[in-house]
Amino acid sequence: MSGKASSTAELGTRPVGKLLMAYAIPAVIAMTASSLYNMIDSIFIGQGVGAMAISGLAITFPLMNLSAAFGSMVGVGAATLMSVKLGQKDYQTAQNILGNVVVLNLILGIVFGVIALVFLDPILYFFGASETTIPYARDYMEIILLGNVVTHSYLGLNALLRSAGHPQMSMYATILTVVINTILDPLFIYQFQMGIKGAAYATVLAQIIALVWQFVVFSNKKEALHLKRGIYRLKKKIVFDTIAIGLSPFLMNTCACMVVILINRGLAEHGGDLAIGAYGIVNRVLFLFIMIVIGINQGMQPIAGYNYGAGHIDRVFRVLRYTIYSATVVTTLGFLIGECIPELCARAFTSDEQLIEMAAHGMRIIVIFYPIIGFQIATTNFFQSIGHAGKSIFLSLTRQLLFLIPALIIFPRFWQLDGIWMAMPASDLVACIVTAVMLVIQNKKMKQRHLASNGQQ
Amino acid sequence: MDNNKNFVLNIGRQLGSGGHAIGTILAKEFGIKFYDKEVLDLAAQESGFSKYFFERDDEHRGFVKSLFNSIIPFTSSGDPYGNQLSSESLFKFQSDAIKKAAERESCVFVGRCADYVLRDHPRCVNIFISANMEDRVARLMQNLQIDAQEAEKRALEGDDKRASYYNYYSALTWGEASTYHICINSSVLGLEGTADFLKSFIMKKLDL
């Protein structure tokens, strides 16, 4: 208890810059690890199997995201619920939540896996697959979907590990999957000549090993929270609350996945199969920068939240400023790489000259407004840190949905394939403007309220 | 909580059921501290945050927050205590404040899941007070200076808000008999009569 109190006090006194470093670095490492995971998979598939395999893989992204959306619905919901109960030292209910999560993931994992397997071909065609790309997408997805139960259970237990006071163990589990996957990928793809299937087996196997390790951790009877008999019976209240809390992350993830489907279909229509692969490459590279920015933002949250609550408005704005600066440095680096050496980035994934050229061209357009996107993401997060979840969700939707969808529909009519690439930076720009306006308004309000409350005292 | 002399009375209540008034009477009868909204001051002190944030989240979960929980994919780590201004974190501060107050001295708590927060307290009485709708409406009309239609609307909304708040943070169900030691309809005996009846129940339960 005293440990928590001292770390809380620290948030109000230690220099903001040092605090931000201390809180952001672990988050940045975790975010980098998970985006490297995706990148490595794509690199091995592109280099080991071929250009069309990259396109096939890119088509499966939204389907995998949808599966992850279901997984994170249970994971995030249960983790929040668990935190609340552990905060009250209510270990009995916390145990029940753990047991219920295991069962829920089992059910959801199997149901989603089976349904997606049965309708796999129609789904993939709808997601933008062609006769050429579908064999790769199908081969890959069949194995991933067979392992879907494992994926869900792994994601769910990882979320619970975090909220059960073992954030470092959850990070180890993530890193473990990355390392195993990196070792198995070349072994399966090159050594055993398994093609794209090899990459899928490597992914599932890595998750199985991580899952086994998680079960070992949760079987330790010395822990207040462990697996035991009698906790697996689903309780209506736990299931309902879990889904109610997890619904918004689920919906946001689902929206993101719909947008990728829209992009992929547009790319297939105006640029063919290779364009989808090109976007897959660009996406993988740029995702790394976005994830680092999100890691920095996670570091900002506790600092901004505490100081806002304690009325240290100057510290609130200082941490926001530092976050925006560092986010801008990261996204500007992404901009420079995307403008200057996109060919080099694409070459890591494939040796197909046409695909490299297409990916480089796309990347150059997409990163045009990257230098200001760091500001947009940081501010979106800032609203969440000070308890304005609604505004935060709205801003996040402006960039990823509200302006992007109309742009994706309208632009290709004028500029064909380039129109789709251009839709993304256009939406970034408009979202940045909206964000700036909302921040200025909020800034005024906060300063006024701050002055008013000072006057009272 | 090794001080065995202290006891706590936790009162859950429907909006307009007179729970606040009955709590005040009981606190006076036993000569102990009374906390209703006063808990928010304790919580503000405990956290070092302005009371404003606790008032904003008091005994309800905002529409946006319950629909779009404060956890947004990717942008947050999924740990509600990571952000100290999240509703979950504010509730934690508030319940720590309740526990500390209960450790210090005997007291009456009205609402704010105190019965759940203090469920391990060796000497507690958990009470739920309801009332007939006409009485609740009449009381709200008088207290808030509103008309009957508005009062009934507020009463029903109040039930929903308190139930969703209580059911979210506790492992129990708001207003259900098995959650409490005693449930009583204040319309039957009136405020004074109900307090009197509860007093004898409390004395028997706690061996006072």
B94 touches chain A (CB under 8 A): no
pLDDT tens for each residue of B131-148:
999 999 999 999 999 999
- Is the Cβ pair A80, B78 closer than 8 Å? yes
Please provide residue A165's backbone torsions phi and psi, each rounded to the nearest 5 degrees.
85, 15
Q: Please write the tens of the pLDDT for every residue from A378-387.
A: 999 898 888 7
Mean pLDDT for the stretch of residues A335-364: 95
* Model pLDDT for residues B153-187, shown as the tens digit of each residue: 999 999 999 998 998 899 889 999 999 999 999 99
B80 Cβ partners below 8 Å, 6+ apart? A80, A83, A84, B70, B71, B86, B87, B88, B89
**Domain housing B25:** 3-206
pLDDT band at B83 (very low <50, low <70, confident <90, very high): low
Q: Residue range A157-165: average pLDDT?
A: 83
**Is residue A204 within 8 Å of residue A244, measured between CB atoms?**
no
Q: What are phi and psi of B184, to 5 degrees?
A: -145, 145
Find chain A residues with C-beta within 8 A of B72's C-beta.
248-249, 252, 384, 389, 392-393, 396
Per-residue pLDDT band for A259 (boundaries 50, 70, 90) equals very high
Helix or strand holding residue B75 (H, E): none
- Which of the four pLDDT bands, split at 50, 70 and 90, describes residue B2? very low
Query: How close are the terminal C-alpha atoms of chain A, in Å?
Result: 31
pLDDT at A241: 86
Residues sharing a CB contact under 8 Å with residue A319, sequence separation 6 or more, in sequence order: A16, A19, A20, A300, A303, A304, A307
Residue of A nearest to B90 (CA): A309
- Digit-coded pLDDT (tens) for A36-61: 888 888 999 999 999 999 999 999 99
What's the pLDDT at A298? 86
- Using a CB–CB cutoff of 8 Å, tell me whether A298 touches chain B: yes
Q: What is the per-residue pLDDT for A299?
A: 87
Q: Could you give the CA distance from residue B84 to residue A331 in angstroms, rounded to a whole number? A: 28
- State the virtual CA torsion across A441, A444, A446, A450 in degrees, nearest 10: -170
DSSP 8-state secondary structure symbol assigned to residue B121: -
pLDDT confidence of residue A163: 79
pLDDT > 50? residue B67: no
Q: Are B154 and B140 in contact (CB under 8 A)?
A: yes
Nearest to A401 by CA among A262, A290, A265: A262
d(CA A292, CA B52): 34
Residues of A in contact with B98 (CB under 8 A): none
Tell me how far apart the alpha carbons of residues A137 and B207 are, in angstroms, rounded to a whole number. 72
User: Contact at 8 Å (CB) between A242 and B71?
Assistant: no
Q: Into how many domains does chain B fold? A: 1
Residue B3 has pLDDT above 50, yes or no: no
Name the residue among A80, A88, A93 with its Cβ closest to that of B69. A80
- CB contacts of B48 in chain A (<8 Å) are 8, 12, 309-310
Find all residues with CB under 8 Å of B33, minimum gap 6, and list them. Answer: B27, B101, B105, B106, B107, B108
Give the strand order in the sheet containing B182-185: B33-35, B107-110, B8-13, B124-130, B182-185
pLDDT at B78 over 90: no
At A192-212, the pLDDT tens digits run: 989 999 999 999 999 999 999
Does the pLDDT at position A94 exceed 60? Answer: yes
Q: CB neighbours of A279 closer than 8 A, spacing ≥ 6?
A: A58, A263, A264, A267, A359, A362
Please, how many CA atoms are within 13 Å of residue A160, restricted to the half-sphere of its CB? 31
- pLDDT above 50 for B74: no
**Partners of residue B84 in chain A, C-beta under 8 Å:** 8, 11, 302, 305-306, 309
- Nearest one of A188, A330, A335, A348 to A284, comparing CA atoms: A348
Determine the pLDDT at residue A337: 96
Minimum distance, in Å, between the CA of residue B78 and any CA atom of chain A: 6
Q: Is A253 on the interface with B (CB under 8 A)?
A: yes
pLDDT at position B47 is: 84
pLDDT in the model for residue A211: 94
Distance CA A239, CA A182 (A): 36
User: pLDDT band at A167, cuts 50/70/90?
Assistant: confident
CATH of the domain at B46: 3.40.50.300
Beta-carbon contacts of A39 under 8 Å, excluding residues fewer than 6 positions away, are A284, A285, A287, A288
The answer to whether residue A457 scores a pLDDT higher than 70 is no
Residue of A nearest to B63 (CA): A390
Q: Where are the alpha helices (DSSP H) in chain B?
A: 19-30, 38-47, 51-56, 63-67, 87-104, 114-117, 133-144, 148-169, 186-206
Q: What is the pLDDT at residue A202?
A: 94
Check CB contact of A241 with chain B, cutoff 8 Å.
yes
Compute the residue count for chain B: 208
Q: Which of A118-127, A303-312, A415-424, B98-107 has the lowest mean pLDDT?
A: A303-312
Q: Scan for tokens 């790489």, then name that residue.
A: A337
User: How confident is the model at residue B182, as a pLDDT?
Assistant: 96
Average pLDDT estimate for A234-250: 86
Q: Calculate the average pLDDT of chain A.
A: 89
Please enumerate in sequence order all residues whose Cβ is within 8 A of that of A392, keeping only pairs 6 or more positions apart, or say none.
A380, A381, A383, A384, B72, B75
Q: Is the ipTM of this complex over 0.90?
A: no
**What is the distance between the alpha carbons of residues B173 and A374, in angstroms, rounded to a whole number?**
44
Mean pLDDT of chain B: 86
Please check the confidence at residue B77 and state whether its pLDDT lies above 50. Answer: no
Weakest mean pLDDT among A227-231, A330-334, A434-438, B136-140: A227-231
Q: What is the pLDDT of residue A83?
A: 84
Contacts of B97 in chain A (CB under 8 A): none
pLDDT value of position B76: 43
Which band of pLDDT confidence, cut at 50, 70 and 90, is reported for residue A453? low
